[in-house]
Amino acid sequence: MKDMQEEKRRIVILAEGFFGDLEAKTASGLIMYKPEEVVAIIDSTKADRSVEDILGFGGDTPIVATLSDSLKYRPSALLIGIAPRGGKLPSEWRGVIKQALENGLDVINGLHDLLNEDPEFSALAASRGATIHDLREASKYNTVAIGDPSLIEATVVLTVGTDCKTGKKVTSIELAKEARKHGFNPHFVATGQSGIAIFGEGVPVDSIIGDFMSGAIEAFLIEKSKTYDLLCVEGQGTIVHPGYSGVTLALIHGSLPDAMILCHYPGREIVKSYEVKIPPLKEMIQLYEDLTRPIKPCKVIGVSLNTQELGDEEARAEIEKVEKETGLPAIDPVRFGCDKLMKAL
Amino acid sequence: MKDMQEEKRRIVILAEGFFGDLEAKTASGLIMYKPEEVVAIIDSTKADRSVEDILGFGGDTPIVATLSDSLKYRPSALLIGIAPRGGKLPSEWRGVIKQALENGLDVINGLHDLLNEDPEFSALAASRGATIHDLREASKYNTVAIGDPSLIEATVVLTVGTDCKTGKKVTSIELAKEARKHGFNPHFVATGQSGIAIFGEGVPVDSIIGDFMSGAIEAFLIEKSKTYDLLCVEGQGTIVHPGYSGVTLALIHGSLPDAMILCHYPGREIVKSYEVKIPPLKEMIQLYEDLTRPIKPCKVIGVSLNTQELGDEEARAEIEKVEKETGLPAIDPVRFGCDKLMKAL
């Protein structure tokens, strides 16, 4: 990933059909945190609109219909900015990826499907001097967790959720930003493909084999704790997710947090794509705390709400309701900042 | 794995230095359940003793000092019968594996290190017409769990544990045997390398990447439920394990059990290789039940104790104590059978 960080990237983001949706959260995340790196968005269904119009931020970054239309903005890389369920490459994207490589663009890929393992893509990349960055390539992780909290010499705050896509990544990023103002030397630790795409480093926990997930995050935190005093670790999934709960728990036991923040999307009652009813927040908090107790007891110190679909008034009411319900400080980190969480910490 | 099942295997087991220990549970498991397939054991430290003498079962199967010494028993395959922490191949085993392949023996390997990916081994196997069976090869698993319990058309019983190596595999196997006597058409579902080595099929959950662990076991159970009416699923690790808890939970949410059996090794107070104190049995039961509730509520219906180190009297006392403590039926499946558990079921 070094070359991704050394010089400024000029990225065109593939978000066809989904720009602005939660399914394209890699796209919106990159525009939020690295707007200077984004030269264009590909989404033919929104090519006449502005990024600002769709996201509420992002200014006049152009939305174009095709990769060809984006070339005039001189991109250096194509980022696959949509995360389809299961991380498979939809066959209709092969064309645009080939076209990018043919034009010498690097490809930044967060899918489970590794493009470097695709003979056509890898041959094309080699012949055009382009690099494929498979963010979920995880074969190097091969150690079991040590499980000794004293090896991580920093305070660790982990976000946990009531579901996927509740704001865990954004909360962890915003908390790190806020902590800097409070005199910490903090670091955001990405654990998913979106965060890794944005910041160029992290641990793709959901792509590591079962026995080594905890060990991977633990080793990363031990290393980072030599430089930083506060590690804001992005959580994954939810402990009540039929498909991803194993990843969620591996992150909890691998990061051995000192504090957890529960992330929730108000109004969401069912785990996305499943029939699972999300338990009440107090039960979720209890369950997360129960799971840490035998190894390293840890409290949920606050609740982070993603109120993007609510008006200001409604958002404040929701926050108040959740504070009453849980007895914990609640925030929306994007809307109202993380100050309250820093105090709880 | 088909060829492993089609004709009777003649296996020599590598258990150097560890035969009879929990670290060599693949070896003792194979001797317990497929004694007719084992022609010799390699453990130079016990070459003058009998299998029966060390395990308490297994008769006069010879223990030899080297692979060369085993050849007179005409083995068709070498099974790596020790599971080192992390599943890495110790360099000192390379010699015996090469020697086996040179003699045309297949190699059955349950390590995380895949021997087919080792150029020296794979070339040697190809040149001698030998096959390397990497039991943990898991690249084919690539689907996220559906999470719909109605798709599994059989009763599912999952063993869970207070630690690794507490008897989850043996309990599930014995329960399936007992269930047959009660008129069920049961099937043991192996989820670890030992069980897969013994029965030639299963899902190596701990070797599958995070997002696909639950989906892998779910798909396997959906398929098996078309043939069997009771699936006895081997659990893995423990929910309080710093390194493996993610695998444990993925199995719980992927198998969506109708009943769980808690397996415990009496006297063990600390998670093996860690400083983690094992919570009281009642707390463990509560935690496992709490984790199933949001997706598909499931009770722990009994406790299985591994009393192999206790005398008959002590074992009975321990069972009584645990029954009093938990209010659940307790057994040692090897010593006293699974009848009580079948009744609870």
- DSSP state letters, A222-262: HHHTTT-SEEEE---S-TT-TTTHHHHHHHHHHH--SEEEE
Looking at residue B257, which CATH number applies to its domain?
3.40.50.300
The whole-number pLDDT of residue B1 equals 41
A112, two tokens:
């489970």
Nearest residue, CB atoms, B276 vs list A206, A240, A295: A295
Contacts of B178 (CB under 8 A, 6+ apart): B337, B338, B339, B341, B342
B310 inside domain: yes
The whole-number pLDDT of residue A105 equals 98
Average confidence (pLDDT) over B293-308: 96
| Minimum Cα–Cα distance from B250: chain A residue | A246
Place of tokens 């338990």: A279
* A72 confidence band (pLDDT: 50, 70, 90): very high
A114: number of Cβ within 10 Å: 20
Q: In angstroms, rounded to a whole number, what is the distance separating the alpha carbons of residues A27 and B94?
A: 48
Q: In angstroms, rounded to a whole number, what is the distance separating the alpha carbons of residues A218 and A66?
A: 41
Contact flag B206-A206 (C-beta cutoff 8 Å)? no
Residues B327 and B203 in one domain: yes
Q: In angstroms, rounded to a whole number, what is the distance separating the alpha carbons of residues A294 and B187?
A: 33
Model confidence over A204-224: pLDDT tens digits? 999 999 999 999 999 999 999
| Minimum Cα–Cα distance from B207: chain A residue | A209
Q: In angstroms, rounded to a whole number, what is the distance separating the alpha carbons of residues A58 and A78?
A: 18
Q: A259: which strand partners?
A: A157, A299
Model confidence over A232-270: pLDDT tens digits? 999 999 999 999 999 999 999 999 999 999 999 999 999
Q: In angstroms, rounded to a whole number, what is the distance separating the alpha carbons of residues A238 and A242?
A: 9
Model confidence over A320-329: pLDDT tens digits? 999 999 999 9
Chain A residues near residue B239 by CB distance under 8 angstroms: 249, 291
Model confidence over A290-335: pLDDT tens digits? 999 999 999 999 999 999 999 999 999 999 999 999 999 999 999 9
Between helix A245-255 and helix B245-255 the angle, nearest 10°, is 160
B311, two tokens:
């005398």
Average confidence (pLDDT) over B92-113: 96
* B263 confidence band (pLDDT: 50, 70, 90): very high
Q: What is the mean pLDDT of chain B?
A: 94
Which of A134, A161, A189 is the last residue in one of the domains?
Answer: A134
Cβ–Cβ contact B287 with A under 8 A:
yes
The whole-number pLDDT of residue B2 equals 40
Chain B interface, best mutation among A151, A253, A273, A274, by max B CB count within 10 A: A253
Q: What are phi and psi of A312, to 5 degrees?
A: -55, -45
Contact flag B112-A287 (C-beta cutoff 8 Å)? no
Cβ–Cβ contact A280 with B under 8 A:
no
Residues B111 and B250 in one domain: no
User: What ipTM was reported for this prediction?
Assistant: 0.94
Q: In angstroms, rounded to a whole number, what is the distance separating the alpha carbons of residues A31 and A57?
A: 8
Contacts of A324 (CB under 8 A, 6+ apart): none
Q: A41: which strand partners?
A: A13, A63
Contact flag A209-B138 (C-beta cutoff 8 Å)? yes
Model confidence over A128-163: pLDDT tens digits? 999 999 999 999 999 999 999 999 999 999 999 999
Q: What is the mean pLDDT of chain A?
A: 94
Provide the domain count of chain A: 2
B36, two tokens:
């007719």
pLDDT above 80 (res B4)? no
Q: In angstroms, rounded to a whole number, what is the distance separating the alpha carbons of residues A41 and A30?
A: 11
Where does residue B289 rank: exposed (0-12), middle (13-18), buried (19+ CB within 10 A)? middle
Residues A117 and A168 in one domain: no
B139 inside domain: no
- Cα atoms found within 13 Å of the Cα of residue A255, Cβ hemisphere only: 30
Residues A174 and A31 in one domain: no
Residue A247 · residue A205 · CB < 8 Å:
yes
Residue A149 · residue A296 · CB < 8 Å:
yes
**Residue A209 gets which letter from DSSP?**
B
Q: In angstroms, rounded to a whole number, what is the distance separating the alpha carbons of residues A101 and B223?
A: 41
Q: In angstroms, rounded to a whole number, what is the distance separating the alpha carbons of residues A323 and A154?
A: 28
Model confidence over B7-52: pLDDT tens digits? 689 999 999 999 998 888 899 999 999 999 999 999 999 997 889 9
* Long-range contacts of the stretch A226-229 (C-beta < 8 A, 24+): A226/A153, A227/A185, A227/A187, A228/A154, A228/A185, A228/A186, A228/A187, A229/A154, A229/A155, A229/A184, A229/A185, A229/A186
Q: What is the dihedral of CA B135, B140, B143, B148, to 10 degrees?
A: -50
> Cα dist. B305→B114, B163, B177, B257, B335 in Å?
33, 12, 17, 20, 10
| Helical spans, DSSP H, in B57-212 | 67-70, 94-102, 119-128, 168-181, 193-199
* A3 confidence band (pLDDT: 50, 70, 90): very low
Cβ–Cβ contact B208 with A under 8 A:
yes
Average confidence (pLDDT) over B132-138: 96
| Minimum Cα–Cα distance from B215: chain A residue | A243
3-class SS of residue B343:
helix
Residues B325 and B190 in one domain: yes
A85 inside domain: yes
Strands A330-331 and B11-14, by their bridges, are unpaired
Å between A82 CA and nearest CA of chain B? 17
The whole-number pLDDT of residue A6 equals 55
Q: In angstroms, rounded to a whole number, what is the distance separating the alpha carbons of residues B53 and B48?
A: 10
Nearest residue, CB atoms, A294 vs list B210, B244, B276: B276
Chain A residues near residue B86 by CB distance under 8 angstroms: 142-144, 211
Q: In angstroms, rounded to a whole number, what is the distance separating the alpha carbons of residues B190 and B188?
A: 6
A77 inside domain: yes
Residues B63 and B91 in one domain: yes
A142 inside domain: no
| Minimum Cα–Cα distance from A206: chain B residue | B210
Residues B128 and B156 in one domain: no
Contacts of A112 (CB under 8 A, 6+ apart): A86, A87, A88, A136, A207, B142, B209, B211
Residue A83 · residue A194 · CB < 8 Å:
yes
Amino acid at A128: R
Contact flag B245-A249 (C-beta cutoff 8 Å)? yes
- DSSP state letters, A89-155: --GGGHHHHHHHHHTT-EEEE-SSS-GGGSHHHHHHHHHHT--EEETT--TT--------GGG--SE
B143 inside domain: no
Q: Please state, for a pLDDT cut of 70, what percent of chain A lies above it.
A: 98
Amino acid at A210: G
B77 inside domain: yes
The whole-number pLDDT of residue A177 equals 95
Residues B109 and B204 in one domain: no
Model confidence over A80-100: pLDDT tens digits? 998 888 889 999 999 999 999
Q: In which domain, by residue range, is B39 found?
A: 2-134
* B6 confidence band (pLDDT: 50, 70, 90): low
Residues A155 and A96 in one domain: no
Where does residue A156 rank: exposed (0-12), middle (13-18), buried (19+ CB within 10 A)? buried
Q: Please state, for a pLDDT cut of 70, what percent of chain B lies above it.
A: 98
Nearest residue, CB atoms, B295 vs list A145, A240, A295: A240
pLDDT above 70 (res B3)? no
Which of A134, A160, A180 is the last residue in one of the domains?
Answer: A134
Which of B134, B165, B189 is the last residue in one of the domains?
Answer: B134
Residues B299 and B234 in one domain: yes
Residue A262 · residue A281 · CB < 8 Å:
yes
Å between A89 CA and nearest CA of chain B? 12
Number of H helices, E strands in chain B: 14, 12
Cβ–Cβ contact A277 with B under 8 A:
yes
Chain A interface, best mutation among B164, B203, B212, by max A CB count within 10 A: B212
Nearest residue, CB atoms, B144 vs list A85, A208, A291: A85
Residues B184 and B314 in one domain: yes
The whole-number pLDDT of residue A1 equals 40
Find residues 118-177 of chain B whose CB sits inside 8 Å of chain A.
Answer: 138, 142-148
B140 inside domain: no
Place of tokens 């040697």: B124
Looking at residue B18, which CATH number applies to its domain?
3.40.50.720
Contact flag A276-B253 (C-beta cutoff 8 Å)? no
Where does residue A148 rank: exposed (0-12), middle (13-18), buried (19+ CB within 10 A)? middle
Average confidence (pLDDT) over B87-100: 94
Residues B53 and B163 in one domain: no
Residue B234 · residue B195 · CB < 8 Å:
yes
Model confidence over B139-183: pLDDT tens digits? 999 999 999 999 999 999 999 999 999 999 999 999 999 999 999
Model confidence over A36-71: pLDDT tens digits? 999 999 999 999 788 999 998 999 999 999 999 999
3-class SS of residue A158:
strand
3-class SS of residue A176:
helix
